[in-house]
Amino acid sequence: MRPATRLVYLCAWLGFALLPWYLTEGMSLTGLDWLAGYPLGKAGSGLALGLAGEARWLLPGGAMLLLAGLAWPRQDEQRAASILIWAGAAGFALFFLQGFAIGLKGQGIPWLASLFGSAGATQRGMGPGAFLTIISLLLMMCHGLAYRGFCRGDVFTTSTIGLLVLLIGLFIFFPVVTILKGAVVDSAGRPDFGAFADRFFDSSIWGLGCLTADVSCGVAWNTLILAVLCGFLTTLFGLASALLILRTGMPGKTMMKALTVLPIITPPFVIGLALILLFGRTGMVSNLLYEWVDVPRSRWIYGLPGVLIAQVLAFAPIAFLVLIGVVQGISPSLEEASQTLGAHRWETFSTITWPLLRPGIANAFLLGFVESMADFGNPLVLGGNFEVLSTKIFFAVVGAAHNEGQAAVLALVLLAFTLGAFWLQHSWLGKKSYTTVTGKGDAGLATPLPRRVSWISTLLVVPWVALTVVIYIIIVIGGFVKSMGRDYTPTLEHFLTGFRIDFSRGMHFEGAAWDSFFTTVKLAAISAPITALIGLLAAYLLKRQTFHGRGALEFSTMLSFAIPGTVLGVAYILAFNVPPIEMTGTGIILVIAFVFRNMPVGVRSGIAGLSQIDKSLDEASATLSARSFTTLWRVVLPLLRPALVAALVYSFVRAMTAVSAVIFLVSAEYNLATAYIVGRVEAGEFGLAIAYSSVLIVVMALGIMLIQFGVGERKLGRRSADTKAAPVAVGGG
């Protein structure tokens, strides 16, 4: 064995013989209460419990550890490789199979449990010992494959691939499969396709009574109509803004660019809350209209109009960020060539510019569509009687009529809509080439917009920008007055209720919001580096390594982006509420949800960064006998610093403002800021909710400032044009 393999082997025995095999109640990384049941109690090791007869089914996996030990003294790597591959794979499979076969009473797989000689037995979820042993066995198998020459014999590469496949399989594919299973089984866990058909074709999902009678349409049609309208309008506003900023001399461009950052650092439902304070029955605008022109107060803001306005305001800046890059990438020389041939501005725009915008338009629409599908906060705040899938799933899980099977069916419909949108986008773009940026010089000037396009864009953008500014003014002011729309007396009561600090006996955080705030910051700070690490490792493998299944791995890393947060939350509840992986109610499940929800951003950032780094640098490092880990650590990672910092800050910001995926996963001990704000909104405490949201916006703004300060301008040792040339010595010596 190589030294790294011996270390992995020792870790496997550490997990099997010394660490607690099962996850016991109250177990934490810092607490030592589990020692009371060590080594044969609830916190006993796998070896001790197996030898004592309390968990005999663990001993076959332990035998594979003994078999793997035969490779320790061998000098012949090929024989050692065979032992490591077979012992690692067999041990890994045995531990995982018994974990799924033997569970709580009424759970598990009885026929498989009987093969382990443990019919009728029960066991709790896997603990630290089980996870360390299983991961070590997987790594031993990967090391054996490296000994056989896989991935050019590089142990680091094979091990990283193995770990990524395990993590993606556990925390993306397994939950999705669990949703599919939960949709087709009854309460006893038996397949019941009749019950699935009844749930799936229920009139509350697909009903069209709104076309023939005064009743609501099915929740699926509501969600689809809302998503299509949101995708269309966000793309329209984003495109109009991008064209005005890049193709006209309009004033206020700096302010418009600043407005693209604010929705990223704003909790998703805060805009909906601000709309209520403006246009609700007691809102500021509603009161003014009633007092000045006698317009009666109404509830028009609750339902499709209000949710749509809130989503467009929240997601249009994202479409703008996508489209401004696409507009910048259109080669001016193509438009100049069109005008040289006698085309007018409108003809040039319609035949040259517009077709080249197709990729950006498709991606912007897709983002708006998916974000609308996944949005939970705005429909909860403004939906009224207008139900969408995300809120319907929420009430199916946490409502009085608790129905996990119905939640699974609704999540399946939502996932099908999202994946269908991805497929339609791919089909619309086809395999046509839209490349306009090449290595050749392109000093042409972009063609000014046709007059009609400029006027239409202005008429669209000005009201949108004005309303966005008013919304954020309301967000700022709302926390400093007693009650928006009723009592505008200045006060700090809301901030003191949430964030009071008592200095009379030292520093005591007495505000009601401190616990959720500190928990959110802590979990976001833990998840951000893990997200960036996994994302950049995956990007390095996909961009720099060649191995079978690379395309499938790349698709898998992006799958979590296609899964709406609501679906992911329900999937995690169904998958990780029972053994063998039991994590609900803990901080670990929240960290994992953050990591795998935001991982695609790290992957794409890393791939984009690696695309700019010449592969010859890796080859030069390999020529000097450096292995891939050394090359990654000392050559590639320093050059990926911008991508690393971007992934870190993005994942931190998204973890701080996430709501749809984690609303199902929070607990009394691990309550998050967004869940706390939703609770205040439901209780009618709008002032406290606005004040807390303002604090989060400030914290996120500081995060944006940190990313700008941390990334800066990458220094590559290039000489600027005004740098004086150093004198060159001529001659030998």
pLDDT at 287 over 90: no
Between residues 724 and 35, the one the model is more confident about: 35
In the chain, the amino acid numbered 638 is P
> CB 374: neighbour CB atoms within 10 A?
23
What percent of the chain is predicted at pLDDT more than 70?
Answer: 85
Residues 6+ apart with CB under 8 A from 460: 236, 237, 240
Angstrom distance (rounded) from CA 119 to CA 105: 11
Residue 40's pLDDT band, with cuts at 50, 70 and 90, is: low
Angstrom distance (rounded) from CA 197 to CA 208: 18
pLDDT at 364 over 90: no
pLDDT the model gives residue 14: 93
The tokens describing 323, both together, are 């489209």
Distances 672 to 92, 415, 668, 675 between C-alpha atoms, Å: 35, 25, 10, 5
What domains are defined for the chain?
3-148 (no CATH), 209-433+450-491 (1.10.3720.10), 509-711 (1.10.3720.10)
pLDDT the model gives residue 655: 87
Angstrom distance (rounded) from CA 693 to CA 277: 14
Segment of 246-250, 254-258, 489-493 carrying the highest mean pLDDT = 489-493
What percent of the chain is predicted at pLDDT more than 90?
Answer: 20
For the chain, helix, strand, coil in percent to 5 are 70, 0, 30
pLDDT at 729 over 60: no
Q: What does the pLDDT look like over 211-248, one tens digit per residue?
A: 776 667 889 999 999 999 999 999 999 888 888 887 77
At residue 481, the 3 state secondary structure works out as strand
Q: What does the pLDDT look like over 68-115, one tens digit per residue?
A: 998 888 677 888 999 999 999 999 999 989 988 888 776 778 878 888
Residue 305's pLDDT band, with cuts at 50, 70 and 90, is: very high
The residue-averaged pLDDT of 154-180 equals 90
Angstrom distance (rounded) from CA 85 to CA 164: 18
pLDDT at 650 over 90: no
pLDDT the model gives residue 732: 42
pLDDT at 138 over 90: yes
Contact 277, 483 (CB under 8 A): no
pLDDT at 628 over 70: yes
pLDDT at 715 over 60: no
DSSP string computed for 13-75: HHHHHTS-SB--TT--SS--GGGGGTTTSTT--HHHHHHTTSSGGGHHHHHHHHHHGGGSS--
Angstrom distance (rounded) from CA 261 to CA 62: 54
pLDDT the model gives residue 436: 44
pLDDT the model gives residue 322: 76
Segment of 220-234, 332-346, 375-389, 403-417 carrying the highest mean pLDDT = 220-234
From 17-26, 297-306, 572-581, the region with the lowest mean pLDDT: 17-26
* Full-model pTM: 0.80
In the chain, the amino acid numbered 265 is I
At residue 482, the 3 state secondary structure works out as strand
Angstrom distance (rounded) from CA 129 to CA 136: 11
Q: What does the pLDDT look like over 510-535, one tens digit per residue?
A: 889 999 999 998 998 899 889 988 98
The verdict on whether omega for the bond into residue 20 sits within 30 degrees of 0, i.e. cis, is: no
Half-sphere exposure of 563 (CA within 13 A, CB side): 30
pLDDT the model gives residue 67: 93
pLDDT the model gives residue 720: 43
pLDDT at 202 over 50: yes
